[in-house]
Chain A
């Protein structure tokens, strides 16, 4: 495990084809059907890196045995000639500094005093030049569902060149700068994600997670090329989100007055994520999973009845009053402006009908609406109203699969998250068959722990392994690893999530034919050691 082995691992880098690398134009939205290299070189690439520690495995890699050395005192990450980004691009400047630290970290200070590396035989690599090709590099924007994350990296003497259409691709490519330390092989990587939506769900309601845990997790996500933080921020148990319009929600609904996310905290998370090319999609799950909302917002939840008397307990959000929708309109207006992402997750899962059924006013409303005793219709009625409200703020919507199952009218760009483990392939067929986009989570509930190497189970999932046309398969835009918080807080979050979630990371990024478990084991072990550094 020592340094010797670490270096050996890193040496087996990648490498060079000087003539080829000249100009590979990368275009917005490279699809997996394009850019696929011819099979022979693909095979070769896989073999060449099989002992390496690249994670997730790039779509296409070539390495040569020719090695270059890096001198920490001279090596620089810089903007390349012809790049549309320059020193004014704060996002890249920040990334340059971060990656320099990853590459040389504390160790470069230790070796600085040694004799110059140039005394060794290998030629020197002086720079990593980053070239952004789009007219507007997007330095000050937020990543969005159709951002281009493709990049092309060549490492040759004397400079390495990282080309990307947008800054997001540069961030993905620069992850591999992390793989270079003092020696690197000449190499070439051409890479792009298989799926556009690669998410991690964190649950800050069952247990509060301190800001530091969330930020650490964003770093780990970036190492694994995840690009969506699905922030399940509130739930039955607590309401840590501090609302500007409705401060009572967290005043009364948080576990304690210090266990909240202030507007400044939320901004910090969003910016920290943006700098790493990660979208933040907040989830405000309604009408179920809302017990904690009731403490700070009177008359929002349905009063449950025991016989003819109110029982003193409350159920889901009350769908029959106008005040409910007034509240939600104002609340989601705030959320729409606080969270810049194009999507908001509206939940809609696991609504328990027993309280609605007990309430005479709700029963009366059901009769008036002609819903009979089908409470799924009442749920859809509510969800429909919320969807309309959120649409009016120009936000896209994510929902859990029940919303689709209960036949709410969904806009075509709605993303349906499939979470029920039971026959999820069939659900994917149905959702995409209805023309809606889908995100898969069912096989990736990482909070369900078991003894042994369960990462293999997550790794072996093939998201497109369901009955459906090519067109349907294209509607699966990715997946999310979910770490629900019943048994997780800051004490065990990181070791429980990583490197298990890395298995999902590679499944969603790398080519569908990257499935060899032994090879993955070796690479993942090195990847874990790298994350420990």
Chain B
């Protein structure tokens, strides 16, 4: 602890002026590994006088004070570096609690409060040139199997930023519950949430998430998965789901969305109109996975429709019929879309800029799927090997880390169609009690795979850096679990 090392990762593209007088010290670990990081030969280290240190726009920067994103980032990063809020006025000695902590650490005189004991911060003379390998580096949270309180989502966004993730894929509704409060169809959450008063996301919650994400350079892509995975929609939208039949009579249970009635498409149009305006990102995730045909098959009206349309017994055609119309609706709203791989597998006609999300692991067959999707000229996102909800004993981050998303047979043009990937934390066994330790630092393995150069792959080196990064997360109050045996200088203190 004495003589804290600054985390260079926070400094991004900052180029430090030559200011150094003493020899360079041991460098801290950086996660994810930058594309290029260099300490000049014979370079030294700089004392960083915490009290006077500030972030500022450099000469020649296109933006200056008043840029909300940078101003907010400057404010956030200062305490991340020094462990306490920045003192406000020159005469102010800062948060007394913070000073107390600092005083206990190392016996050196300090420029910030003369005569008392204080930590000194140093940074090695360093130049970092960095850029992401893939533009889409996402994390999926599922708020339908279990409700996640707003603060859990916001905290996840913070940690995503530390890991350079830039897409929050919000799997917001599904069969078990509908926590999204719709202004057009308020009955959906009233009838479909676990608890309509407490287990919902209000319009203001959603805005908070989007703004919190924006300030951290993170896009929010909501997923409203249809026509399957919609049981919770039913109670609040009568007539939307397909009534299943037992013999000649309705059995009282419901299946996927009913694709054969016009009212369905009116509903879907209104709902996605709302969703398109609430969520500013260009893309929506439309789902389209795991449609169970048994209920459709049981329904006589649907069977009649199948005959009428000449679909025969191929219910995939009916699914495509629905999806096709949905895609047209969403296109007409001026949005792009991401869909799960089944939509591609079932030969639905897609716009060329559609992104196909590959999720079926099938051993290593997901690589074939990546090849097929890109050969057809579509962009692809990889999640199959990164279902982090599937836990197992031991250091399973290594498996996630070793994945090479471009390791499939295909031309350079095909490889260029891989936009990136997403780590998925499905919610069957996850709620706010275990989300953070289950997610971090395991998702960090995916983050580095998607950000860093493909040559960065040494597991031992990654272990050392990731273990240290996890200690950094603990210091920032994030409940990240250990990789293996050991300790951090500052352990998690909550219980």
Contacts and interface: CB of A to CB of B under 8 A. Distances in A.
Contact of B493 (A206, A488, A490): A490
A342 to B, nearest CB: 29
Interface stretch (A406-414, A444-452, A474-482): A444-452
Contact of A490 (B436, B485, B489, B492): B492
Contacts of B492: 210, 489-491
A65 interface: no
B480 interface: yes
Contact of A449 (B392, B486, B494): B392
A491 B478 CA distance: 9
A212 interface: yes
Interface in B412-464: 429, 433-434, 436-438
Interface in A256-284: 256, 259
A41 interface: no
B148 to A, nearest CB: 14
Contacts of B487: 207-208, 238, 255-256, 259
B53 interface: no
A326 to B, nearest CB: 31
A40 interface: no
A210 B495 contact: yes
Interface residues of A, number: 34
Nearest to B198: A2
A450 B489 CA distance: 30
A336 interface: no
B474 interface: yes
Contacts of A82: none
B480 A237 contact: no
A213 interface: yes
A490 B433 contact: no
B393 A206 contact: no
B195 A487 contact: no
B390 A491 contact: no
A532 B485 contact: no
A299 interface: no
A449 B437 contact: no
B156 interface: no
A451 B361 CA distance: 16
B359 interface: no
Nearest to A485: B485
Contact of A256 (B390, B391, B429, B489): B489
A212 B494 contact: yes
A330 B97 CA distance: 43
A487 B394 contact: yes
B199 interface: yes
B481 interface: yes
A491 B194 contact: no
Interface string A203-230: 0001110101101100000000000000
Given A213-B495, A450-B391, A487 B481 contact: yes
Contacts of A256: 487, 489
B480 A491 contact: yes
B393 A448 contact: yes
B317 to A, nearest CB: 34
B482 A494 contact: no
Q: How large is the interface on B (under 10, 10 to 19, 20 to 34, 35 or more residues)?
A: 20 to 34
Nearest to A445: B393
A492 interface: yes
Contacts of B199: 1
Contacts of B389: 451
B392 A486 contact: no
A495 interface: yes
B391 A489 contact: no
Contacts of B391: 449-451
A207 B437 contact: no
Interface string A480-521: 000001111111111110000000000000000000000000
Given A207-B485, A256-B487, A491-B482, A450 B429 contact: no
B482 A216 contact: no
A176 B438 CA distance: 32
Contacts of B434: 492, 495-496
Nearest to A4: B195
A490 B492 CA distance: 6
A255 B491 CA distance: 11
Contact of B482 (A2, A207, A452): A207
Given A210-B491, A491-B480, A486 B474 contact: no
Contacts of A1: 194-195, 199
B416 to A, nearest CB: 34
B437 A492 contact: yes
Given A210-B493, A259-B491, A491 B393 contact: no
Nearest to A208: B487
Contacts of B480: 491
B474 A491 contact: yes
B197 interface: yes
A491 B485 contact: no
A237 B485 contact: yes
A241 B487 CA distance: 16
Contacts of B392: 449-451
Contacts of A215: 495
A259 B484 CA distance: 17
A2 B197 contact: yes
A503 B177 CA distance: 27
B479 interface: yes
B485 A449 contact: no
Contacts of B436: 491
A489 B195 contact: no
Residue of B474, B479, B493, B495 ringed by the most chain A CB atoms within 10 A: B495
Nearest to A235: B485
Nearest to B474: A491
Contacts of A212: 493-495
Given A2-B195, A207-B485, A237-B485, A490 B393 contact: no
A489 B429 contact: no
Interface string B120-159: 0000000000000000000000000000000000000000
Given A2-B198, A237-B485, A532-B433, A489 B393 contact: no
Interface of B: 194-195, 197-199, 389-394, 429, 433-434, 436-438, 474, 479-487, 489, 491-495
Interface of A: 1-2, 206-208, 210, 212-213, 215-216, 237-238, 255-256, 259, 447-452, 485-496, 532
11 contacts: A206-B485, A210-B491, A210-B493, A213-B495, A256-B489, A488-B481, A489-B492, A491-B482, A495-B433, A495-B438, A496-B434
Which 3 A-B pairs rank lowest in CB-CB distance, beginning with the nearest?
A495-B434, A492-B437, A255-B487
